[in-house]
Structure 1
Amino acid sequence: MATVIRIYPEAGDAGIGPHLEFNLSDFGGQLPNTGDLIIQPRTHGQPNGEVWEVATRYFDPGPGFDAGACLHVIVRARAMTPAERALHEGLSPALPA
């Protein structure tokens, strides 16, 4: 089995919200690390996307070798900046004149 990456947005007093599941290839073979910024997945074409900052990671190695390890990632959401929105839309941010 492959490593599962579960991303949980913080949800105020409720703790964490429902998770989204990914695999390592969804992140280009890199595990999300504390401080990394993730453009909110599955929101292409939506004008008000968010950026998630990785706050904490929890490793759950599973019961044995290659037996379905899981990385739980807690993220904090915020609105995208104009430059981040341009990245999300696949555009280069405008250069100053």
Structure 2
Amino acid sequence: MNHRIAPPQPFAPVDSTETATALARGSAWAFWIWAAVGLMQAGLIWFQGDAAHQDVRGATTGFMIFFAGFAAVLGWMQHRKPNRILPVFGLAWALYELS
């Protein structure tokens, strides 16, 4: 048999409950890592911010902390009650941030 490794697709059918649970847990970890990176970026803005932009430093840091908290809550929701909506939302959110 030829078993190829293929990346999981959000709309593909899942063959077992164990696979679905593992994929949902991976999605939850992705949200938590995203939250941690957001907090690190907020720290960089706060501590390494330019002196000329002191007026927007607090607002930008607060905005990033809010979205890091939002990502952490989404990870908790995905861990507690797995579904397909949150990973698709996370993908759309990531594509928006890249644009």
Shorter-chain TM-score tier? under 0.3
Output the TM-score relative to the length of structure 1.
0.23
Question: Which one has a larger percent strand, Structure 1 or Structure 2?
Answer: 1
Larger Rg: 2
Higher normalized contact order (CA 8 Å, seq sep 6+, divided by chain length): 2
Output the TM-score relative to the length of structure 2.
0.23
